[in-house]
Each structure stands twice: as structure tokens, then as C-alpha cells.
């Protein structure tokens, strides 16, 4: 690295969902990852190949975590106090959904019914999200 590059290099790094309040939020991101989780479960449960099953589990766990991340961004960045006042069930929905995507949910099981429960919670959150976008 040249002296000029060293002098001009940033001294600190920032990590965030967005550098600006971009306003680009959509529960479809969480739903897409949850669909992937369920697809991994279906393929895992239909296979007899232990290597394939191990790969399906690894992908399912990674995607489950991504569901949680997308939900957390909506929960903490998009929804504001007036939303939680108008929709008092919203905090509970997010809590239940993120738990369904965690170790006690899709990350820790291959039960497709749990994936369906997660998808249903995301759909409930999405319905509220789209109502808030109409206001």
C-alpha cells in the first residue's frame, strides 16, 4: 500500500443496514428466505443421502438466520412508536416470528409444519406492514 493510500484510507469503518434512511423495507425478503428454509426441509426429508441431508441442514440454518435478520431490520428500523400503538400485537408477532426462525424453531428442526408457522407469522407482519404503507 502506498503512502498516499495509507493517508487517505478511512480510519474507522461503519457497519449498518443502510448509510442513509433509505426507506427500502419489505417483508418479502424475510418471506423469501423462509420459503428457502421450507424447501430445504422438504428436500432434506425426501432424501436418503446423508451428505445431501447435511448440506440441506447447513443451508436451512443459514437461511433461518437470514429470516431473523430481515425481521429485525423491519422491527427495529421500519416500525416506529405510532405503529406499535396502532398495532399492539406487533411486538408479539415479531418476537414469535424470530423465535420460529431460531434454534427453537426452523433452525433446530426439519419439521415442515414449523416452517409453515413461520411463514404465517411473516404474512401477519406483512399485512400490517402494507397497511402502514397505505397511510
Check pLDDT > 90 for residue 74.
yes
pLDDT at 24: 78
User: Is residue 5 one of the residues assigned to a domain?
Assistant: no
When pLDDT is averaged across residues 87-92 and rounded to a whole number, the result is 98
Residue % of the chain over a pLDDT of 90:
79
Domain that holds residue 109: 26-134
Q: Does 49 reside within a domain? A: yes
Alpha carbons 75 and 17: distance in angstroms, whole number: 13
13-60 pLDDT, tens digit per residue, is 554 445 445 567 999 999 999 999 999 999 999 999 999 999 999 999
Residue 33 domain flag: yes
Q: What is the pLDDT of residue 134?
A: 87
Assigned domain for 110 exists:
yes
Number of structural domains, the chain?
1
**Which CATH number goes with the domain that contains 53?**
1.20.120.400
**In the prediction, which pLDDT does 11 show?**
65
The least confident of 10-19, 62-71, 105-114 is 10-19
In a domain, 8, yes or no: no
Mean of the per-residue pLDDT values for the chain? 90
To 10 degrees, what angle do helices 50-73 and 90-100 make?
A: 160
In a domain, 87, yes or no: yes
What are the backbone dihedrals phi and psi of residue 59, each rounded to the nearest 5 degrees, phi first? -65, -45
Q: Tell me if 43 is assigned to some domain.
A: yes
On the question of pLDDT at 96 being above 60, the answer is yes
Amino acid at each position: 500500500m502506498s503512502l498516499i493510500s495509507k493517508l487517505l484510507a478511512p480510519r474507522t469503518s461503519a457497519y449498518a443496514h443502510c448509510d442513509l434512511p433509505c426507506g427500502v423495507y419489505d417483508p418479502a425478503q424475510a418471506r423469501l428466505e423462509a420459503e428457502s428454509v421450507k424447501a430445504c426441509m422438504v428436500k432434506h426429508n425426501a432424501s436418503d443421502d446423508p451428505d445431501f441431508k447435511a448440506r440441506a441442514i447447513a443451508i436451512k440454518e443459514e437461511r433461518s438466520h437470514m429470516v431473523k435478520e430481515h425481521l429485525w431490520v423491519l422491527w427495529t428500523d421500519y416500525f416506529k412508536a405510532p405503529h406499535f400503538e396502532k398495532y399492539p400485537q406487533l411486538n408479539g408477532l415479531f418476537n414469535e416470528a424470530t423465535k420460529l426462525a431460531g434454534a427453537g424453531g426452523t433452525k433446530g428442526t426439519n419439521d415442515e409444519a414449523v416452517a409453515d408457522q413461520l411463514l404465517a407469522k411473516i404474512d401477519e407482519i406483512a399485512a400490517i406492514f402494507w397497511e402502514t404503507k397505505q397511510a
